[in-house]
Amino acid sequence: MIKRHHLYYENVRSLLLMDVKILDGLPCGYVALNDSGTIQSINQPLVDRLGYTKDELHQKHFDVLLSPSARLFYQLYFFPMMRVQEKIEEMYISLLTNDGVELPVLLNANRKNKGDTFLNECIVIPMSKRNEFEDELIQARKDAEMAFEEKNKANEALEVKQRELLILLNKNKLYQEKIETELQLAKKIQEVSLTLPIHNEEISITTFYKPSSELSGDIFGIYNINDFQYGVIIIDVMGHGISSALVSLSLRSLFQTLISKGESVETVIKELDHYLNTLFENNSDIRHYATGIHLHINTEKREIEFINAGHPPVVIIDNEEINYLHSTSPPIGLLDDLEFKASKVSYTNTSRLFLYTDGITDLVPIKELSSVLKDCNDEQPAVLKNILSNLIQEKEKNFSESDDQSFMIIDLL
């Protein structure tokens, strides 16, 4: 099946040199995008299948045809891969019809230099009627072969391009091997950037960290400000992978400096929010926001000052009673000029806090998680960590994909 798709794609590439009538006669979809994602050309079969007219889609952004989840996939994978590899083969994605129905398609694409700009030409094969398409693909090949007889010069040019493509593929293989090496190095850098746990007579902090891929959007920091003050922060940058990891590492450099200097909770969150808004102010298409919690723990006053910026609530077990530190403000990097106000709570002896990212509650609902924490409240932190990690691992068996996972167990002694 893959071979037949590949042959079809190579034959159709020559047809793209012909006029609009031939494109409109193809038994599959064709759309050409510029590097900004604007639709430059689209053929009639595709607009008919999607329930639009050509005028409705011409010069519109490709986002209008994508579901919210597909838009993120498109921004993070489609264009970066096109710029690096200059082609995409057999990418599965869903388009939205005019009436909001998702249409699964198989996408093949090729990036061409058109003078002062690049054009990303895509062949779109709806997968809902796969058997019917195979018959149409065979007929398309016959039609293409007839056209090739009259296009000898085009064939010669295609052979040259194929040889060039082979050279590029070999170069790309070497490039991918280099990228893999760099990713492994970046992963090690990210792991060592996480601060070490703290264990003393007043406080004990145990951590868990598991990225969903080579790199993670989760980051946390633990800082001993002075003899009785501690700063704890956990941040989850939108998405996961290289882009989220780069953002999280840049945030880490900032909050490490601020918290270590003893800056207030409001100042730390405000500066992180300002940094993200400034970072993406000139390119909203790649904007990243983050949820996070910053705690300032005073063991002398037995008091916790905190801001929860759109993050899942902290679970507190104090005297066998469960409470939560819920979100007190929107995520950072989402809106400009937000005001952040800290809240305070007191605690008694032997209180326990549980901080985590949503990769945990995607697998274990908060109600079930709270129950486990309460039942295991007398367990040592290391034992509780093993119980929770085993529970998460068991839950993951029912999911094809999972998000980055991080949590902290903080015992206030």
Task: Report pLDDT digits (tens) over 33-49.
Answer: 998 899 999 999 999 99
Between 332 and 3, residue with greater pLDDT: 332
Q: Does domain 194-412 have CATH number 3.60.40.10?
A: yes
Q: What is the pLDDT of residue 271?
A: 95
Mean pLDDT of 60-68: 90
CA torsion angle 186 188 189 193 (round to 10): 140
pLDDT in tens, 92-114: 888 999 999 999 989 999 999 87
How many residues can be counted in the chain?
413
Ordered by start, the domain boundaries in the chain are 2-150, 194-412
Residue type, 65: L
Domain 2-150 shares a fold with domain 194-412: no
With a cut of 60, say whether residue 192 has pLDDT above it: yes
pLDDT higher than 90, residue 248: no
Looking at residues 60-70, what average pLDDT do you find?
89
DSSP string across 264-302 = -HHHHHHHHHHHHHHHTTT-GGG---EEEEEEEEETTTT
> What letter would DSSP give residue 329?
B
More confident residue, 187 or 410: 410
pLDDT digits (tens, 9 = 90+) for 282-309: 776 777 899 999 999 999 999 999 999 9
Section 178-205 average pLDDT = 76
Which amino acid does the sequence have at 102? Answer: E
CA atoms of 25 and 5, how far apart (whole Å):
18
With a cut of 50, say whether residue 17 has pLDDT above it: no
d(CA 110, CA 159): 16
Annotation: CATH topology of 2-150: Beta-Lactamase (3.30.450)
Q: What is the pLDDT of residue 181?
A: 66
Split at pLDDT 50, 70, 90, the class of 244 is: confident
What local confidence, expressed as pLDDT, does residue 214 receive?
64
Express each pLDDT in 117-170 by its tens digit. 889 999 999 887 664 655 676 777 777 777 777 777 777 888 888 888 888 888
Q: Are 120 and 139 in contact (CB under 8 A)?
A: no
**pLDDT of 262:** 94
pLDDT at residue 398 in the model: 85
* Predicted structure pTM score: 0.57
Quote the CA–CA distance of 31 and 65 in Å, as a whole number. 12
pLDDT (0 to 100) of residue 15: 45
Q: How far is CA 8 from the centre of its chain?
A: 32
